[in-house]
């Protein structure tokens, strides 16, 4: 007989946990006879497996796999969070944690050390003298060599007010230094980058939505306004979502008029049926706004972009969004683990459900269908629009056509040039991987020259020709691409490009590598202004301001009223 393992065990204990979780008896939630009988069936199965299976089984394993199995039979986004991951998950939503305040890159091998990318400004580490480039060699007198990012985080995080000893090696001075650092509340910033693209255009990139995102956003807006911002590029690309409230608050700052629907939620319980509306005024109620989105913009990102599109408030540029319109809530189980479970759906102001359709329990088919429709939405837009039934076609506040049924289609779609070598470099993150290696080899020279000169680096540093040549050598040695002098050998589907194309993309390579080096020197987002200069979506957005200004004027000229 085939031996069972824990993945074949019925999810027996899962339902038993609910009583302890919610502090009530399970029977008070189950009123139908059939549901109660099914509960008893699972209870019996768990008892039989626990006592009679040929090998001893661990109850916690059966329970955990059972819960996962139950959730797997639901929608594609309900999930189980084990106890060991709960704190990190809650920290991400909260937007802060107790720690020492450093951004670091984990060791690349068992013999390597983690490198401090930058200390958080005015954080505990910066105050005691930790510097960018320091190597973490010991934590509390125990070696930190070869530790993973998670292992280092576990040792450095802790209760606010407690102390931790950290020993670093500083390459610039060839010294080992030991610091005693008092842990404090460390913000997990949501804003990856913000700067002025030109004298009137501000740029803000939101990487995720946490409880702190709205406050962060408003501080950046105030700063950019002080620098002359009259219009905004809001970058939500690859933003997976997070806290809905923050997205709603930011939308409110742009809509300006009172009573406009921002989002509607509907669920099985009446408490989920609500409409969130805008208030009067707003810090960005009149400025032209362009929102950048892509296939990884999801959930709260789609709430924000959908509200702005439906009210003709902003021009959306990029590629179709992910298509996740499920409202989720966390339920704590008796061992501290969490069910992150779907309890409702949200709808845009025009009434769109932009959730990609799914069959319960069939996640593989869900993602395959999503990928196929996304390709049409990017490369064959007419076919994609024609495939959408009339029932999923909607009108914006002023009559533009928008679509439901799977993500948000931008107003202007930026199609990638699949034959372009530059597109391949950007899409494959080849520039980032190379820049990390180049930086490691030349770190001491770069830091000694540019460490405290960020503005000068961004304005005047030029990536040497040697680095560009090494970039192409690296790409070919790693088998990432092939350069050929024979035009007949070119096959972009197999990553074979003409050597002449490499020369033509020289400026792109220099710009991309420079931006990545800035991130290595000064922290995540420091080089975004450089990277955006060769970003097709950003550059296209900068040519579309007349359309965005028309929407802004249309919106501000509208009469005040409630939009259902």
**What Rg, from alpha-carbon coordinates, does the chain have?**
26
- Can 376 be counted among the known catalytic residues? no
Give the dihedral of Cα atoms 442, 448, 453, 455; nearest 10 deg.
-10
> What SS3 class is residue 217?
helix
Name the active-site residue from 220, 324, 370, 514: 324
Tokens encoding 301: 């990102």
Locus of tokens 């033509």:
504
Sequence-ordered strand ranges (E) for 213-294: 231-235, 261-267, 274-277, 289-293
Write down the residue that tokens 């930190």 correspond to.
Answer: 144
> How many CA atoms within 13 Å lie on the side-chain side of 149?
10
β-bridge mates for residue 318, sequence order: 293, 413
Could you give the CA distance from residue 463 to residue 476 in angstroms, rounded to a whole number?
A: 20
Residues 6+ apart with CB under 8 A from 372: none
Is 127 one of the catalytic residues?
Answer: no
Distance CA 62, CA 420 (A): 51
Catalytic site residue from 75, 310, 411, 431: 310
Q: Are 332 and 21 in contact (CB under 8 A)?
A: yes
User: Do residues 342 and 71 touch, judged by C-beta distance below 8 A?
Assistant: no
23: left (phi over 0), alpha (psi -120 to 50) or beta: left
CA dist., res. 499 & res. 486, Å (int): 9
Q: How many residues does the chain have?
A: 564
Q: How far is Cα 341 from Cα 512, in angstroms, rounded to an integer?
A: 40
Question: What does DSSP assign to residue 76?
Answer: T
* Residue with token string 């089984």: 57
Give the whole-angstrom CA distance, residue 257 versus residue 277: 10
Going through 92-190 in order, the beta strands assigned E by DSSP cover 96-99, 102-105, 114-119, 135-139, 142-143, 163-170, 175-182, 184-187
Q: What angle do CA 432, 437, 438 make, to 5 degrees?
A: 95
* Residue of 193, 299, 305, 548 with catalytic role: 299
3-state DSSP of 337-376: CEEEEEEEEEECCCCCCCCCCCCCCCHHHHHHHHHHHHHH
310 is an active site residue: yes
How far apart CA 244 and CA 306 sit, in angstroms, is 13
Q: What's the CA gap between 401 and 377, in Å, rounded?
A: 15
Tokens of 288: 């032209």
Query: Active-site positions?
Result: 299, 310, 324
């Amino acid at each position: 007989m085939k031996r069972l393992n824990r993945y074949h065990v019925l999810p027996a204990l899962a339902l038993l946990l609910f009583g302890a979780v919610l502090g009530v008896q399970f029977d008070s939630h189950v009123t139908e006879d059939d549901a109660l009988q099914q509960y008893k069936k699972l209870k019996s199965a768990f008892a039989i497996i626990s006592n009679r299976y040929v090998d001893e089984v661990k109850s916690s394993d059966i329970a955990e796999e059972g819960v996962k199995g139950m959730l797997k039979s639901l929608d594609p986004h309900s999930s189980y969070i084990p106890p060991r991951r709960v704190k990190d998950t809650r920290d991400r939503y909260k937007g802060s944690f107790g720690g020492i305040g450093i951004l670091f890159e984990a060791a690349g091998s068992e013999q390597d050390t983690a490198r401090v990318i930058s200390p958080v400004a005015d954080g505990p580490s910066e105050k005691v003298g930790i510097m960018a480039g320091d190597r973490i060699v010991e934590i509390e007198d125990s070696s930190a060599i070869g530790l993973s990012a998670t292992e280092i985080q576990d040792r450095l995080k802790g209760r606010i007010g407690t102390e931790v000893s950290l020993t670093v090696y500083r390459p610039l001075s060839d010294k080992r230094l030991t610091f005693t650092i008092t842990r404090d509340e460390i913000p997990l910033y949501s804003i990856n980058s913000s700067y002025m693209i030109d004298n009137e255009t501000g740029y803000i990139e939101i990487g995720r939505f946490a409880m702190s995102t709205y406050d962060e956003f408003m501080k950046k807006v105030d700063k950019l306004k002080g620098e002359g911002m009259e219009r905004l590029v809001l970058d939500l690309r690859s933003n997976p979502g997070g806290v809905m409230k923050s997205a709603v608050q930011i939308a409110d700052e742009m809509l300006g008029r009172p009573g406009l629907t921002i989002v509607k939620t509907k669920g099985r319980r009446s408490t989920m049926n609500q409409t969130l509306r805008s208030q009067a005024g707003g810090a960005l109620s009149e400025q032209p706004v362009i929102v950048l989105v892509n296939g990884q913009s999801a959930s709260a990102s789609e709430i924000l972009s959908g509200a702005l599109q439906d009210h003709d408030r902003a021009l959306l540029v990029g590629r179709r969004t992910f298509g996740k319109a499920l409202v989720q809530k966390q339920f704590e189980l008796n061992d501290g683990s969490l069910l992150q479970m779907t309890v409702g759906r949200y709808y845009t102001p025009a009434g769109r459900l932009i959730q990609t359709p799914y069959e319960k329990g069939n996640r593989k088919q869900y993602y395959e269908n999503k990928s196929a429709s996304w390709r049409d939405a990017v490369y064959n837009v007419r076919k994609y629009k024609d495939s959408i039934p009339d029932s999923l076609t909607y009108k914006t506040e002023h009559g533009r056509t928008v679509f439901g049924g799977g993500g948000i289609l931008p107003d202007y779609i930026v199609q990638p040039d699949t034959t372009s070598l530059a597109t391949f470099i950007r899409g494959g993150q080849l520039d980032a991987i190379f820049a990390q290696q180049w930086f490691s080899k030349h770190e001491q020279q770069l830091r000694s020259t540019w460490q405290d000169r960020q503005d000068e680096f961004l304005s005047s540093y030029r990536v040497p020709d040697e680095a560009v040549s090494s970039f192409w050598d690296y790409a070919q040695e790693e088998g990432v691409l092939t350069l050929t002098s024979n035009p007949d050998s070119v096959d972009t589907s197999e990553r074979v490009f003409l050597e002449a194309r490499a020369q033509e993309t020289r400026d792109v390579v220099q710009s991309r590598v420079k931006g990545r080096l800035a991130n290595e020197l000064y922290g995540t987002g420091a080089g975004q202004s450089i990277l955006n200069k060769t970003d097709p979506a950003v550059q296209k957005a900068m040519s579309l301001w007349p359309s965005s200004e028309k929407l802004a004027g249309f919106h501000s000229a509208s009469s005040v009223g409630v939009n259902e």
